């Protein structure tokens, strides 16, 4: 079963309802662990009250409320994951998540009740998942969403700019009526959207695929290193490759004669083949 089908099946057949407690939505075994910790704290609080230790009892009840609050945060995280993944398709398998987000190692297993909950010395939840590599990944609840990148209107916004450029196609010798460089710079910078532009589908094309195809010779020779192909290396704060790629795509819509290096090479190769065919024909005559 593919991952997307497994997730869809889980979402459609979740073993708890909307009225379930926040402690009940991460699997039966985790619910037992949570209940044991809470029951232990409540028991100690009652014992403290029985001997007149109000300070200790107050502290323990504060811990119980803290655990309840943490469980509610975990519930909201799972609800966000459920909403995002309910939009997943075979072509957009991360749903509303950007491909930038690594969901395979921790998030999917955890939210599908394949993880284990524990509690640290401060009785804050520790969420653990056993990976295929044979290692444990453990996160605090505040770490779960820190690397999440959610898709919004980035592709639609880019396509509107590209379509606008096509409508203004350079037939009258006029320039575009908007600043392409400014528009793309702004699009990449807003809410770190450059991460989405790096890894996700825009108008049927992936930046990384196009970049690798266009630069395969430099990659093979080592001129472009593995580090320069890591998604974080395309951060527009210190790199211009994303900016050049998306501005070129818009400008090509306005001026179709503006072609990329790869397209230039392909055109040259095509012309060479055509010339060879012509030469061969002349020689035969």
Which of 125, 144, 163 is the last residue before a domain boundary?
A: 144
**161 and 93, same structural domain?**
no
Which of 90, 123, 144 is the last residue before a domain boundary?
A: 144
**Locus of tokens 């592709």:** 155
**80 and 12, same structural domain?**
yes
pLDDT score recorded for residue 64:
97
**231 and 102, same structural domain?**
no
Which of 117, 144, 171 is the last residue before a domain boundary?
A: 144
**251 and 134, same structural domain?**
no
pLDDT score recorded for residue 284:
56
pLDDT score recorded for residue 255:
79
pLDDT score recorded for residue 169:
77
**36 and 139, same structural domain?**
yes
**162 and 122, same structural domain?**
no
Instruction: Look over the chain and give the mean of its residue pLDDT values, rounded to a whole number.
Output: 90
pLDDT score recorded for residue 202:
95
**38 and 116, same structural domain?**
yes
In a domain, 276, yes or no: no
Render pLDDT for 143-162 as a digit per residue (tens, 0 to 9): 999 999 999 999 999 999 99
- pTM of the full predicted structure? 0.82
270 pLDDT above the threshold of 60: no
SS (H, E, C) the chain: CCHHHHHHHHHHCCCCCCCCCHHHCCCHHHHHHHHHHHHHHHHHHHHHHHCCCHHHHHHHHHHHHHHHHHHHHHHHHHHHHHHHHCCCCCCCCCCCECCCCCCCCCHHHHHCCCCEEEECCCCCEEEEEECCCCCEEEEEHHHHCCCCCECCCHHHHHHHHHHHHHHCCCCCCCCCCCCHHHHHHHHHHHHHCHHHHHHCEECCEEHHHHHHHHCHHHHHHCCCCCHHHCHHHHCCCCCCHHHHHHHHHHHHHHCCCCCCHHHHHHHHHHHHHHHHHHHHHHHHC
Q: How far is CA 49 from CA 3, 62, 219, 261, in A?
A: 51, 14, 70, 77
In a domain, 149, yes or no: no
**133 and 27, same structural domain?**
yes
Cβ contact 184:250 at 8 Å: yes
pLDDT score recorded for residue 168:
83
pLDDT score recorded for residue 273:
62
**114 and 73, same structural domain?**
yes
In a domain, 245, yes or no: yes
Domain that holds residue 232: 155-269
In a domain, 86, yes or no: yes
**201 and 110, same structural domain?**
no
Render pLDDT for 11-33 as a digit per residue (tens, 0 to 9): 999 989 889 999 999 999 999 99
In a domain, 103, yes or no: yes
264 pLDDT above the threshold of 60: no
**200 and 106, same structural domain?**
no
In a domain, 29, yes or no: yes
Q: What's the average model confidence in pLDDT over 230-259?
A: 89
In a domain, 280, yes or no: no
**184 and 79, same structural domain?**
no
pLDDT score recorded for residue 34:
98
CA dist., res. 272 & res. 278, Å (int): 10
| Residues above pLDDT 70, as percent of the chain | 88
pLDDT score recorded for residue 93:
86
Sheet of 125-130: strands edge to edge?
A: 116-119, 125-130, 136-140
Domain count of the chain?
2
In a domain, 281, yes or no: no
Cβ contact 154:193 at 8 Å: yes
Q: What's the average model confidence in pLDDT over 44-65?
A: 96
CA atoms within 13 A on the CB side of 82: 18
| Residues above pLDDT 90, as percent of the chain | 75
Render pLDDT for 88-143 as a digit per residue (tens, 0 to 9): 887 788 999 999 999 999 999 999 999 999 999 999 999 999 998 999 999 999 99
Q: What's the average model confidence in pLDDT over 241-247?
A: 96
Cβ contact 227:139 at 8 Å: no
List Cβ neighbours of 115 (8 Å cut-off, separation of 6 or more). 26, 27, 30, 106, 109, 127, 128, 129
């Amino acid at each position: 079963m593919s991952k997307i089908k497994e997730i869809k099946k889980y979402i459609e057949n979740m073993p708890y309802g909307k009225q379930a407690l926040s402690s009940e939505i991460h699997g039966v075994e985790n619910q037992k662990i949570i209940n044991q910790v809470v029951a232990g704290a409540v028991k100690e609080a009652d014992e403290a009250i029985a001997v007149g230790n109000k300070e200790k009892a107050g502290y323990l009840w504060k811990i119980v409320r803290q655990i309840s609050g943490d469980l509610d945060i975990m519930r909201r995280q799972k609800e966000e994951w459920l909403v995002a993944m309910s939009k997943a398709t075979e072509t957009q398998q991360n749903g509303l998540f950007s491909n930038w987000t690594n969901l395979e190692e921790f998030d999917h297993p955890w939210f599908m009740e394949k993880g284990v909950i524990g509690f640290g010395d401060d009785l804050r939840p520790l969420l653990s998942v056993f990976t295929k590599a044979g290692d444990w990944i453990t996160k605090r609840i505040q770490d779960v969403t820190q690397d999440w990148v959610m898709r919004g209107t980035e592709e639609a916004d880019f396509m509107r700019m590209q379509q606008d450029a096509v409508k203004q196609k350079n037939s009258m010798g006029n320039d575009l009526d908007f600043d392409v460089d400014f528009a793309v710079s702004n699009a990449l910078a807003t809410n770190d959207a450059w991460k989405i532009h790096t890894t996700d589908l825009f108008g049927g094309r992936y930046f990384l695929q196009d970049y690798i195809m266009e630069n395969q010779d430099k990659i093979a020779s080592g001129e472009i290193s593995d580090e320069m192909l890591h998604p974080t290396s395309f951060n527009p704060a210190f790199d211009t490759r994303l900016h050049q790629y998306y501005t070129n795509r818009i400008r090509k819509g306005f001026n179709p004669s503006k072609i990329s290096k790869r397209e230039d090479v392909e055109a040259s190769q095509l012309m060479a083949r055509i010339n060879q065919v012509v030469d061969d024909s002349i020689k035969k005559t």
